[in-house]
Amino acid sequence: MFETIYVNFMLLVVLPLILFMIYVGPFILIFSSIIFVLTRKSIDIISKILIVIIILLITFLLFVTLIKFVDKPSEYYSKMQQINDSKSIIGLSKEEVENKLGKPGKTKKSENIYLYDAGTLFRDVTFVNHYDLWAKTYYYALFVYFDENDIVESTSLKKSLEFYVP
């Protein structure tokens, strides 16, 4: 019986207090430090301003270290990135590229470039791994550059609005 009372006490009282102190405690500490510095009569005004600036700077740096960027590439993006990074299609003709990657989504004949949809990259930005600050989807295109003999000279993977699908 004592164990169940203890467990219930821990779940209902102690755990919420710990969570409250983890997330709200730093803000209480920051504001109380600023109020303490500003109410001291023995500190001149320039020192007060410098101390408040230092406290705010430390707070900002703490906040920045708690922000996490999580990139989740689509399977198609990973495949196209691997093709771009390995430079596996360099030296192939236009026909060989079309056999390997399919018909290009767009061609620029004046510049001798093929553009392929390279998938999406989903970026999730969170604070303390719990609070979503924002999420954004980036669309990419694989640019295949040909020389004057229609042989692949180089490739690049760039952010693009060319293949935006709502």
pLDDT in tens, 78-135: 999 999 898 889 999 888 988 988 888 877 777 788 888 888 889 888 877 777 778 8
CA-based nearest residue to 97, from 141, 20, 49, 152: 152
More confident residue, 133 or 9: 133
Buried b (16+ CB within 10 A) or exposed e, 12-32: eeeeeeeeeeeeeeeeeeeee
pLDDT of residue 82: 92
**pLDDT-derived band at 145, boundaries 50, 70, 90:** very high
- Separation CA 15–CA 132 (nearest Å): 23
pLDDT of residue 160: 79
pLDDT of residue 165: 46
Q: Which whole number is the average pLDDT over 20-45?
A: 78
Buried b (16+ CB within 10 A) or exposed e, 41-75: eeeeeeeeeebeeebeeebeeeeeeeeeeeeebbe
pLDDT of residue 30: 79
Instruction: List Cα–Cα distances, 50 to 17, 29, 34, 54, 133, in angstroms.
Output: 33, 18, 11, 6, 30
Residue 156 in contact with residue 115, Cβ under 8 Å?
A: no
Residue 128 in contact with residue 109, Cβ under 8 Å?
A: no
Poorest-pLDDT segment among 6-10, 50-54, 144-148: 6-10
pLDDT of residue 166: 39
**pLDDT-derived band at 5, boundaries 50, 70, 90:** low
pLDDT in tens, 33-89: 888 887 888 878 888 888 888 888 887 887 777 788 888 998 989 999 999 898 889
